[in-house]
């Protein structure tokens, strides 16, 4: 592959390879790795995740990858969190309150309010909150993405919300803090719109690494 080098962090939970394959499809040289040296040398780092918050945090720490996340974020390189990988970037989660998160995005992950079916498992339109977000460049004003979740991120600073969706009310669906972008939805499972978002990430990385 001739595209930018992306390290997709492998901490042994879920089908993390699907994110790697989708990134390869849109032109990245994406490698699934638990090697801190590989992540350190990559142009960008991706943290996917499926399952329970606490189990994912324990697995990340067991694999020695928590410092890798913090180092990647501090380096200023583009960083992408997906689904539970996004949730892990927060301080804590109501799902497993005894397990601390990574604290990259100040705030907590809260249960979807009552009155709707949990999990939210369907296609839904995403509403970007700002016109200058590069991850949504060239896409429709309300792209369709695929969700599977029962909680959503609630940052202390509302300016960190990059997109919302409507599911029994407004839920936060994507986040931006400096070089970090994170999605509650699964872009790797979201057909054309999801691939377009990942392609935007790869182009952003290529620009950063050029």
188 in catalytic set: yes
DSSP per position, the chain = --S-EEEEE--S-S-THHHHHHHHHTT-EEEEE--HHHHHHSSEEEE---S-HHHHHHHHHHTT-HHHHHHHHHHT--EEEETHHHHTTEEEETTSTTS----SEEEEEEEPPTTS-SSEEEEEE-EES-TT-GGGTTS-SS-EEEEEESEEEEESSGGGEEEEEESSSEEEEEEEETTEEEESS-GGGSHHHHHHHHHHHHHHHHHHH-
149 in catalytic set: no
Question: What is the distance between the alpha carbons of residues 46 and 86, in angstroms, rounded to a whole number?
Answer: 10
Read off the tokens for 137: 């460049």
Residue among 24, 56, 83, 160 flagged as catalytic:
83
Question: What is the distance between the alpha carbons of residues 117 and 67, in angstroms, rounded to a whole number?
Answer: 36
95 in catalytic set: no
For helices 53-62 and 66-75, angle between their N-to-C axes, nearest 10 degrees = 90
Residue among 120, 152, 160, 186 flagged as catalytic:
186
Residue among 152, 160, 165, 188 flagged as catalytic:
188
Residues annotated catalytic, as ranges: 83, 186, 188
């Amino acid at each position: 592959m001739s595209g930018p080098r992306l390290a997709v962090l492998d901490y042994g939970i879920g089908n993390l390879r699907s994110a790697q394959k989708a990134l390869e499809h849109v032109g990245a040289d994406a490698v699934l790795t638990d090697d801190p040296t590989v992540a350190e040398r990559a142009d960008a780092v991706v943290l996917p995740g499926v399952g329970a918050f606490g189990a994912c945090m324990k697995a990340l720490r067991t694999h020695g990858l928590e410092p890798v996340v913090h180092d990647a974020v501090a380096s200023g390189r583009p960083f992408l969190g997906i689904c539970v990988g996004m949730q892990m970037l927060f301080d804590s989660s109501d799902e497993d309150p005894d397990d601390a998160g990574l604290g990259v995005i100040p705030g907590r992950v809260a249960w979807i309010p009552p009155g709707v079916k949990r999990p939210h498992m369907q296609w839904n339109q995403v509403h970007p909150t700002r016109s200058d977000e590069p991850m949504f460049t060239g896409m429709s004003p309300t792209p369709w993405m695929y969700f599977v979740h029962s909680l959503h991120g609630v940052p202390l600073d509302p300016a960190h919300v990059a997109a919302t969706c409507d599911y029994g009310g407004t839920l936060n669906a994507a986040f931006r803090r400096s070089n970090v972008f994170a999605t509650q939805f699964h872009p790797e499972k979201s057909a054309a719109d999801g691939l377009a978002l990942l392609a935007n990430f790869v182009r952003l990385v290529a620009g950063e690494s050029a």
